[in-house]
Amino acid sequence: MAWDEWEQLKADAAQRASTGMQLNQVAADGGGGGGGDVAGDLVVNQDDLGAVGHDAFTLYEGLRTGTDIAGGAGVNKDGAGSTMQAAASLKSHGFAMGSALELTVEIWTSQSKAVLQACAHISNHLDYSKKLHAEDDAKIAAVVRSRDGLAETVSELSKYFK
């Protein structure tokens, strides 16, 4: 493509561009998006969020008990689990695998904690998300009113963003 052709294409695009907002959408017969087709809109109910939050909590509990290789199984009086005891024994007998096993347990524990934190965060967040968003919507609706007390129209609000 020649440089002047590129410049012409840019100029043509600039002439066609509107200063207003444009929302891309799928044709009404093609699924979600435009045309006010409510069937294609994303709808999430409190029950849906609660179910996902519960699943995240269940996963958290299963991971918490099933991934603790550092101290879960065969804990000795010092609190070291059987895997760490094996690593210490291998190291004391001069096997390089002892240090490698110890490092593996440390990395595994770190990664397991990260996944546990993510599950806990999802569980806690989704349990209350719908309720909090409804409260936020109510606060915004109370603030954004016209002088006559009615909700401000979108066309009126858009004047503030030009």
- Tens of pLDDT, residue by residue over 10-63, are 788 777 765 555 555 655 555 444 444 445 555 666 677 777 878 888 888 888
- Tens of pLDDT, residue by residue over 55-87, are 888 888 888 877 766 656 567 777 677 888 889
Chain-centre distance for alpha carbon 27: 29
Chain-centre distance for alpha carbon 52: 12
